[in-house]
Structure 1
Amino acid sequence: MTKILVTGGAGYIGSHTVKKLGEAGYEIVIYDNLSTGSAAAILYGKLYEGELNDKQCLSKVFEQHSFDAVIHFAASISVPESLEQPLNYYSNNTSNVINILQCCKKFNVNQFVFSSTAAVYGEVQDFPVEESSPTLPINPYGKSKLMSESIIRDYAQASELQYVILRYFNVAGADSSGKIGQMGQKAAHLIKVGCDAALGIRASASIYGTDYPTKDGTGIRDYIHVEDLATAHVDALKYLEQEPTSQILNCGYGTGYSVKEVFSKIKEISGVDFPVVETSRREGDPACVIASGKKIREVIGWNPQHNSLDEIVRSALAWEQKKLKQLNPV
């Protein structure tokens, strides 16, 4: 049985991927500090609680298990926070990649799947975004991830490491079975914010910028269902097992929705006309980012099953409703 180390496997995307890996029959070890993740979200595998900058602890986990591959999620992901705390982002997102790769080298682990981001592209001029598009990140979050990509690529050139780097677009939604979803208390994903506003958890939802050069003045993003993204990681792992050629792949559907369109969909599905506050742009936010998903389909055979804003919103709203009922049982 193939044994996988999943760093950040208790987090939002990590836990959904762990579920998919478990269902596919992989043996899983999760390494997470639980700063934003939750042990309750782990449905398969064994959890080790630890920090990635604790080299002794990390090395001990590698030593205790003979890993065939690593899927690395653990990272800080907030663009506004990265502007306020850039050193934390370069430390957590970039330096810690070196720690993991040093363990891979020491314990001869040569398959690596990395969680990257569309933020590496920056202010995109042409759509849809191809993997060959210029990488000019405009915030420390995107820069920290692009640096990590460079480190992985350089190490691969000097070793037997084979990798798949997955550049995510905007992830949303929840497990269709209702078992897991977004657990983070400080999560600021747009669809979660809208669902919280619809359920009265937040007083309102905000639109940061209504003067972008887009169809309605608000930012446009390519939203991907978290289950499809989790499947992409399993597909990437299977690809490396069969065809060990390193790849960089976009994870998106190729369809963009504006902030106003997303909030309108949440209002439609929830039946709640929640307040929306329009305010100024946030520094570091590009106007529009839409993925080309052609390469990932062709290279690793990714076949998304949840390509629908309606389905994404319904699953996210159902999950938030479930959490609310658990907190306030009748």
Structure 2
Amino acid sequence: MRVLVTGGAGYVGSVVAAQLVAAGHEVVVLDNLSTGHRDAVPPECVFVRGDIRDRAAEVLSDGVEAVLHFAAKSIVPESVARPEMYWSGNVGASLALLEAMRATGVRRIVFSSTAAVYGEPERVPIPEDAPVRPTNPYGATKAAIDAALTEHARMHGIGAVSLRYFNVAGAQDGRGERHTTETHLIPIVLQVALGRREAVSVFGTDYGTPDGTCVRDYIHVADLAEAHLLALDHCTPGRHRVYNLGNGTGFSVREVVEVCREVTGHPIPVVEDGRRPGDPAALVASGRRARDELGWLPRRPGLAAIVADAWKFHSAAAGAGPAAAHAGGGA
């Protein structure tokens, strides 16, 4: 199958592109490289540099049968500071992509959504039928795109699958996280181990969790990518399905730091700080629907293995420069 991967020069998109190639698909990557990296794109892929609004119809008309849509802005604080950029870059571009799909007759799409659509959950683990009430513009834009997919399935007969990620980490085949502004916990902790930060800040130690710090669900990027290939085969015309992707097990901030200490052999100092507004005590996915309908289960659920792969990537990049490792795009 010939597939289009938007944002395929980014972290998750590049790993998915590599797995698609390994599975025998023809892959076209569309990315404007605003946050992605050209060296993250597998060499077997056709690479098109450009924006979705300008290039999607052209690329789709060249025999593409399905789309995997990763291109998006994804920094929560930035979305709060510049919501207009997120509504235009995420929702506007996605609507343009859907219109290009309608015009060219492409009827399958797998969308990179997020657990941020749930906001402060009523219960944990979080099922897919939990109320959608995002607490920031980033989550709100993803929820809006999910709604648009439901309408396009109803009106135009597309088959759509939204995959709502929780916390993605790790690396595969030299492809890992490499952000200009890092906001994710595991890479931040590893930056301390590499000497790029003096300490890691722990925001809030008085939550109603076993050790008082926030609990999050971490999933290996390779497991996440495998779910996308399964979802591609479950795009049913006229139907939009949503799946939560997570381990189903939560790890606290203190647990993450301790595992990073064990994996790296570095002490990793911690500075305790107050809670950040809007941080839920626990975000853990219920993966029952993905298991039952997609046949998907994480094959690398251990936190130590996730951290070890991330550490291998980050330490290699630090030792030999950015060109030594692939990384994470937007289109």
- Mapped to 2, the partners of 1:159 and 1:186 lie a distance apart of 39
The aligned residue for residue 8 of structure 1 is: 7
In the alignment, which residue of structure 2 is the partner of 1:267? 261
**Aligned with 2:240 (options 243, 246, 268):** 246
Which 10-residue stretch deviates more, 268-277 or 288-297?
A: 268-277
> Residue 46 in 1 paired to residue 46 in 2?
yes
Aligned to 1:202: 197
Aligned-partner SS, 2:182: coil
**Paired position in structure 2 for 1:186:** 181
TM-score where L is the length of structure 2: 0.93
Q: Which residue of 1 aligns with 2:275?
A: 281
AA matched with 2:116? A
CA distance in 1 between partners of 2:203 and 2:31 (Å) = 32
Q: In structure 2, what residue type is equivalent to 1:293? A: G
Letter in 2 for 1:253: N
Quick one: higher RCO (CA 8 Å, sep 6+), 1 or 2?
2
Please, which runs of 5 or more residues in structure 1 have no aligned partner?
none
Quote the offset at 1:216 in angstroms: 2.0
Instruction: Give 1:213 deviation, angstroms.
Output: 2.5
Q: Secondary structure at the match of 1:239?
A: coil
1:50, 1:57 within 8 Å by CA — same for their partners in 2?
yes
Once the two structures are TM-superposed, the CA of residue 245 in structure 1 deviates from its matched residue by 4.6
Query: Which of these residues, 305, 318, 321, is aligned with residue 315 of structure 2?
Result: 321
**2:285 match:** 291
CA distance in 2, matches of 1:23, 1:76: 27
Residue matched to 1:212? 207
For residues 245 and 99 of structure 1, the distance between their equivalents in structure 2, rounded to whole angstroms, comes to 20
Instruction: Say whether the 8 Å CA contact 1:251–1:293 is kept in structure 2.
Output: yes
1:222 pairs with one of 217, 220, 234: 217
How far apart, in 2, do the equivalents of 1:304 and 1:6 lie?
Answer: 22
Letter of the structure 2 residue corresponding to residue 275 of structure 1: P
Deviations 1:164-203, CA, capped at 9 Å, x for gaps: 110001000001xx42211323232110111111111222
**What CA distance in whole angstroms lies between the structure 2 residues aligned with 1:166 and 1:107?**
24
Note the C-alpha offset of 1:304: 2.0
CA distance in 2, matches of 1:187, 1:13: 15
Using the TM superposition, name which of 269-278 and 318-327 deviates more: 269-278
Matches within 5 A, 1:159-174: 159-174=156-171
- Per the normalisation by structure 1, the TM-score is 0.93
Mapped to 1, the partners of 2:278 and 2:139 lie a distance apart of 9
Aligned residue pairs, count? 322
Contact preservation (8 Å) 1:80, 1:283:
no
Question: How much does 1:59 deviate?
Answer: 2.2
Measure, in 2, the Cα distance between the counterparts of 1:254 and 1:324.
32
Tell me the SS of whatever aligns to 1:240: coil
Runs of 4+ in 1 over 6 A off after TM superposition: none
Contact 1:4/1:70, CA 8 A, preserved across alignment:
yes
Match of 1:56 among 49, 54, 57: 54
Q: Structure 2: which 5+ runs fail to align?
A: 325-331
Partner of 2:21: 22
Aligned to 2:150: 153
1:119 aligns with 2:116: yes
Aligned 8 A contact 2:57 2:101 in 1: no
Q: Distance in 1 between matches of 2:247 and 2:279?
A: 20
Partner of 1:108: 105
Hey, what's the Cα distance between the residues in 1 that align with 2:89 and 2:102? 20
Instruction: Return the match for 1:303 from 297, 302, 308.
Output: 297
- Counterpart Cα distance in 1 of 2:130 and 2:56: 35
Deviates more, 1:134-143 or 1:163-172: 134-143
